[in-house]
Amino acid sequence: GAVVSQHPSWVICKSGTSVKIECRSLDFQATTMFWYRQFPKQSLMLMATSNEGSKATYEQGVEKDKFLINHASLTLSTLTVTSAHPEDSSFYICSASEQGLSETQYFGPGTRLLVL
Amino acid sequence: AQSVSQHNHHVILSEAASLELGCNYSYGGTVNLFWYVQYPGQHLQLLLKYFSGDPLVKGIKGFEAEFIKSKFSFNLRKPSVQWSDTAEYFCAVNPYTGTASKLTFGTGTRLQVTL
């Protein structure tokens, strides 16, 4: 149980375009999902916390207008990187906390974004 | 705000050697503690977690960790490592709130087990 999927697993796009990444909890309902960014050989940095039915909470330094988060249902959160630039190239990982068992986060496989 | 320190950045061990990875955190209140593992090319998987109770917690694949509150530490141990334990290990902490709260990760320790 507690499986989280992400789609796509990797994406290459041109500078200036927008990219949407989906995060789904497959066998549980997730009240809260989190979006992280991981640079090569570094740890995960939290970008934002996404709560179902409400606005996301962004960490300091993360542009909310650039990284749009939508958590429309208890099993799906999306991260849209708007007007992507090469410096946005990274590994984006989501995690989900199960409703009622919310202290543990389960991680998705990540999405590698390359902006040319 | 909480912070997590992992002092060992890269550890190389021979198979059957014992493992201990250090993790210290900084936070003024009650915390939940986690160890996650990331095998090459795979996503983060939960190894073990501590919320309350017995400070010695056992996880999957023979790993265990001990929470020492006075030292703000949560070190990961395994008595005998295997080649398949080669991976990146992350210690993480979040404040105890009873609901989902953000995780703060350490910088990770890369474990390389040689045959």
pLDDT tens string A16-50: 999 999 999 998 888 889 999 998 777 889 999 98
**For residue B94, which residues of chain A lie inside 8 Å, CB to CB?**
103
- Indicate yes or no: CB of B107 within 8 angstroms of CB of A43: yes
**For residue B90, which residues of chain A lie inside 8 Å, CB to CB?**
43-44
Of A46, A59, A107, the CB nearest to B44: A107
The answer to whether A24 touches A73, Cβ cutoff 8 Å, is: no
**Mean pLDDT of the region B37-42:** 88
The answer to whether A99 touches A74, Cβ cutoff 8 Å, is: yes
pLDDT at B100: 65
Q: Tell me the pLDDT band of A105, cut-offs 50, 70 and 90.
A: confident
Q: Does any CB of chain B come closer than 8 Å to the CB of residue A105?
A: yes
**Mean pLDDT of the region A67-91:** 94
- Indicate yes or no: CB of A102 within 8 angstroms of CB of B100: yes
Number of Cβ pairs closer than 8 Å across A and B? 55
- Indicate yes or no: CB of B42 within 8 angstroms of CB of A109: yes
pLDDT at A10: 95
Of A43, A49, A106, the CB nearest to B105: A43
Q: Tell me the pLDDT band of B57, cut-offs 50, 70 and 90.
A: very high
DSSP E strands in chain B: the ranges are 3-5, 10-14, 19-21, 24-26, 31-38, 45-50, 56-58, 64-68, 73-78, 87-95, 104-105, 109-114
